Chains A and B, each alone.
Chain A
């Protein structure tokens, strides 16, 4: 038995004993001839018999507690036409060494292979796919991939167009020749066209030209033990043509004679299948428009300043920390931070925000956006594959290449359907041969929608026709397209509105969501507190004075609430005096001397500890807290003088988003660490159904799990690191784009903007996509469901009519056409947020000054 050498990249070996442990354990495996572990390079080289798979060795290493490095390979696979092709390619790839997992997407024509680093053999995988008759190559990056895809698509379209031009004129001529003696055809169809020999010669180029692909592909699969739809076509076309040719050359051989030469069946059957292929090639191009649009945003050229010299270079050659110059009207080539200049940048292509965003020193710029007015220089912070645009493209690509559970089911059904259909074809043949023909055959037998009579048809020809028609009409070619085409259109459409689904399964999960949980801070609210109220006691300082003094004290503090007070004073253009003798009591408050006065700012406890009675201010503070605000007492020279309140305000679209989610029938939940009173005040304002208050960050995931226990599908919307476990626990996690990287890594959906209406957009798009998937599957199966009994001759005993193979092919092509057109309708989908005219900004809580009468 032959042996091979496999090299594993192993992480976690830290000492010589690790090496010994690995070598001993692996050396003990059956089939291992030699093993050598290298601590420095972190590699384990194993010479083993071919009988022992690398996966077993990797499993053994992992069992020892070390990590065997995995790798991923992306391939472009061209020439797949149905769900069975997908199953065929997946099967072939899984058989190659080192492969752990593979996902093939018919829609994008890609295969994502996961396996063991060092073992996964790209060449072997490509060869395995090519051996099946498909074109395979490693998937390229960015623009090169775009060019290659366009090239392949153009090639596929050109091939199918050429096939159409060959198949259809010839097939129509064959059809007219077949019916030369009927209806008005004798008037303009020359008699020689009715000759069987001429019809055979006209059909031959169709079968050997456009039809050849079906024979080659089905044989390539069959000899490896896999079937696909090409097999149905090949048996249908082949049998029709063979019988017709036999009846032409040897009419007395007993296959039905001269009257049973159904060349038009073979010809039109091929023509209809080619039409289906042509339509699929068109659809595949259109549904991946979104990714092409995104790729086109990638700028080609950058102006980089190096050593004081301005250089023009390809954008992908810009290095980290390069200083890049952008002039008006030019695209920003990579991500970075502005270091010089001022301008307004149109970021609508990335964020969907239609108003240009002002950029001054320190502002972040995104690659792919367009500079509008001024010139500026920025320092490159993310280049190449790290830029936001590249990440977005990768996310959309991955999503389009992934498989939804419903698609896996459809592929499985379609893959096994082919075998089932052939078994059915045997049963139909045997049934009509032994029983049906003798009992029901009449010389008046006709094809449905055809003047053609089949009087001289023998038992074999009749049974064979029924059998062939069943094969053709059963072909689930539209099933393969139904799900991926809609998923591609859906993810692309969502990306247009700034919603990035990480996978097709995320769309499916999002469409089923019944409960949606919102993190409060940074998600429902802006995440940074703002000054809302200033309350002064009667006879005390004015509200401006009180605020200025409070700001003076807080200016030395770094507390977020203090920053809100300082910002509030600045917004009112108050003159904030300097403060001396600053003192901070953590968890209580701060004090300082301002303009010759002792100013104290803090909570009630702080006030009482300093022997002061809040008086009526306590009631006022309670009211403010009731409304979700955080009140702070201000005392001047030992007497309470007023209150300043801050609150984390709701985002502009929070209320309208929640309202829309309710209209969609969703239950809304808010999860927060705030106390119940404050949390409920915010929930009331925004219209949330349920509040989960006093929840510690580490308990958020547990709360989501509890909600799931009720049997409801739960979505979680969050932005912070502490939301990550809950995002992962939820059936679908939606991460706010402005949030932390951890949240974005964990979420299944990324909302590029921080607008909560995008949550609505995500769920609406997911629902629309899944609706489309279900409709497509309906259209894909309805023809088969209705057609199979008809083709099997269920109605024949009553009507004396049977379905011709070409009519069966027409049904089949119609099913593909229905799916194609239905998917294209998704391009017209517009989410609520896009349909709304200029959004109604939510009325902000006003910063009012209330006066109360002090008891003092």
Chain B
């Protein structure tokens, strides 16, 4: 469960950060006359800072959301069950 959560979180923050870095690279390629090192270096710096910003935001949210979602799916009451359990989740 833990490793799955980490994988999902990594996928989200990794995608956001790579997206930000790619956007930076794209903008520097399309606008101005920036040297390749500046474009690549800048994209790497943006990637690093984006990772630092998104990791602490994404990981706790994924943890708190993913686990209850899986619980309700796995622990769905059997058909015919009469117990009222909804208030706890």
| Complex Cα–Cα for A463 and B75 (A) | 53
A30 touches B45 (CB 8 A): no
Chain B residues, CB < 8 A from A224: 59
Contact with B along A75-114 (1 / 0, CB 8 A): 0000000000000000100000000000000000000000
For the residues of B in contact with A, the DSSP-based class is helix
B56 touches A227 (CB 8 A): yes
| Complex Cα–Cα for A254 and B34 (A) | 11
Partner pick for A29 among B28, B42, B88, CB 8 A cutoff: B88
Contact with A along B19-52 (1 / 0, CB 8 A): 0000010011001101111100110011011101
Task: Flag the segment in A421-429, A534-542, A711-719, A840-848 that touches B.
Answer: A421-429
Contact with B along A121-155 (1 / 0, CB 8 A): 00000000000000000000000000000000000
Q: Closest Cβ of chain B: how far from A241's Cβ, in Å?
A: 14
B53 touches A222 (CB 8 A): no
Partner pick for B32 among A31, A49, A434, A464, CB 8 A cutoff: A434
Contact A255:B56 (CB < 8 A) given known A30-B75, A60-B88: no
B-contacting residues, A402-456, CB 8 Å: 419, 422-423, 425-426, 429-430, 433-434, 438
Contact A254:B36 (CB < 8 A) given known A225-B63, A463-B42, A464-B41: yes
Is A574 located at the chain interface by the 8 A CB criterion? Answer: no
For the residues of A in contact with B, the DSSP-based class is helix
Contact with B along A19-55 (1 / 0, CB 8 A): 0000000001111000000000000000001111000
Kindly report which residue of chain B lies nearest to residue A231, judged by CB atoms: B52
B37 touches A254 (CB 8 A): yes
Chain A residues, CB < 8 A from B35: 254, 458-460
Is B8 located at the chain interface by the 8 A CB criterion? Answer: no
Contact with B along A641-664 (1 / 0, CB 8 A): 000000000000000000000000
B42 touches A426 (CB 8 A): no
Q: Closest Cβ of chain A: how far from B41's Cβ, in Å?
A: 5
Is A235 located at the chain interface by the 8 A CB criterion? Answer: yes
Partner pick for B37 among A51, A255, A434, CB 8 A cutoff: A255
| Complex Cα–Cα for A639 and B3 (A) | 98
Chain B residues, CB < 8 A from A422: 49, 52-53
Contact A429:B41 (CB < 8 A) given known A222-B52, A227-B56, A231-B52: no
A30 touches B88 (CB 8 A): yes
Contact A426:B49 (CB < 8 A) given known A49-B75, A255-B41: yes
B-contacting residues, A698-728, CB 8 Å: none
A30 touches B89 (CB 8 A): yes
B53 touches A423 (CB 8 A): yes
Q: Closest Cβ of chain B: how far from A325's Cβ, in Å?
A: 61
Q: Closest Cβ of chain A: how far from B78's Cβ, in Å?
A: 11
Contact A51:B67 (CB < 8 A) given known A225-B58, A429-B42: yes
Q: Closest Cβ of chain A: how far from B16's Cβ, in Å?
A: 12
| Complex Cα–Cα for A235 and B35 (A) | 24
A225 touches B9 (CB 8 A): yes
Is A253 located at the chain interface by the 8 A CB criterion? Answer: yes
Kindly report which residue of chain A lies nearest to residue B60, judged by CB atoms: A225
Chain A residues, CB < 8 A from B9: 225
A-contacting residues, B47-84, CB 8 Å: 48-50, 52-53, 55-60, 63, 67-68, 70-71, 74-75, 77, 83-84
Is A565 located at the chain interface by the 8 A CB criterion? Answer: no
Chain A residues, CB < 8 A from B55: 222-223, 225, 227
Is A184 located at the chain interface by the 8 A CB criterion? Answer: no
| Complex Cα–Cα for A426 and B42 (A) | 10
8 additional A-B pairs beyond A30-B77, A422-B52, beta carbons within 8 Å, are: A30-B85, A50-B1, A60-B88, A225-B63, A253-B37, A426-B53, A433-B28, A433-B42
**Which residue numbers of B lie inside 8 Å of A, CB to CB?**
1, 9, 24, 27-28, 31-32, 34-38, 41-42, 45-46, 48-50, 52-53, 55-60, 63, 67-68, 70-71, 74-75, 77, 83-85, 88-89
